[in-house]
């Protein structure tokens, strides 16, 4: 074997080791578990828009077509306020449906991930709304944050926020009180590179 052939074969070994290492790097998070195998793909997460009715109820919608339809529903006077969080529009790993319910008698909207509470709500004056269901995490995993559920009993209005300062402001200045954590959403600043 001459030197050139030795070098050539060493080179080919090096190349295959390098590509093997690259492959290993890409697969490493999956082999390690949580991040790649038990979380939704953050690249699929969509803005969950918050709309406010002229009458004071809040509506949360991810589907852009539905946002447009609601905003054009002039008699309701919906205004687009902000993006409240990031959610999934299809069921990804470890996520659960976050149902949109509407009052049978009033006009408030209710958002429920817990199936026991869904059954309670359906038995207590709410029906499932026609907005497409979105999906969130039922526990705080995968970089998610609490989606706080607040209620203003006098206004018959439910409010949800992932922003702690907004939660405190609504309690201090808008007549809302904490009810629960509705589920866990990805915050707006979420970066899959983090």
Q: Whole-number minimum distance, CB 39 to ligand NAG, in Å?
A: 18
Q: Whole-number minimum distance, CB 117 to ligand NAG, in Å?
A: 5
What does the block give as tokens for 43? 């690249």
Residue matched to tokens 């001459």: 2
Measured distance CA(175)–CA(67) in Å, rounded: 27
DSSP state of 40: -
Transcribe 48-77 into DSSP letters: EEEEE-TTS-EEEE--HHHHHHHHH-GGG-
Nearer to ligand NAG, 155 or 180 (CB): 180
Q: Minimal CB distance to ligand NAG: which residue?
A: 114
Residue matched to tokens 């207590």: 124
Q: Whole-number minimum distance, CB 87 to ligand NAG, in Å?
A: 18
- Interface residues with ligand NAG (CB under 6 A)? 18, 22, 114, 116-117, 138
Residue matched to tokens 């589907």: 63
Measured distance CA(151)–CA(111) in Å, rounded: 12
Nearer to ligand NAG, 89 or 114 (CB): 114
Q: Whole-number minimum distance, CB 180 to ligand NAG, in Å?
A: 8
């Amino acid at each position: 074997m001459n030197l050139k052939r030795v070098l050539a074969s060493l080179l080919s070994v090096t190349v295959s080791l390098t590509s093997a290492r690259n492959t290993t790097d890409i697969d490493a998070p999956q082999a390690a578990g949580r991040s790649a195998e038990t979380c939704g793909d953050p690249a699929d997460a969509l803005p969950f828009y918050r709309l406010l009715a002229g009458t004071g109820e809040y509506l949360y919608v991810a589907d852009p077509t539905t946002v447009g339809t609601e905003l054009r529903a002039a008699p309701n006077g919906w205004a687009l306020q902000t993006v409240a969080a990031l959610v999934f529009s299809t069921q990804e790993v470890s996520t659960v449906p976050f149902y949109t319910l509407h009052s049978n008698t009033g006009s408030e909207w209710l958002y429920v991930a817990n199936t026991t509470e869904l059954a309670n709500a359906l038995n207590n004056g709410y029906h499932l709304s026609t907005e497409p269901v979105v999906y969130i995490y039922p526990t705080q995993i995968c970089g998610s944050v609490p989606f706080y559920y607040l209620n203003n009993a006098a206004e018959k209005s439910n409010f949800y926020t992932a922003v702690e300062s907004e939660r405190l402001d609504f309690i201090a200045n808008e007549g809302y009180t904490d009810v629960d954590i509705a589920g866990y959403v990805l915050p707006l600043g979420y970066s899959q590179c983090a």
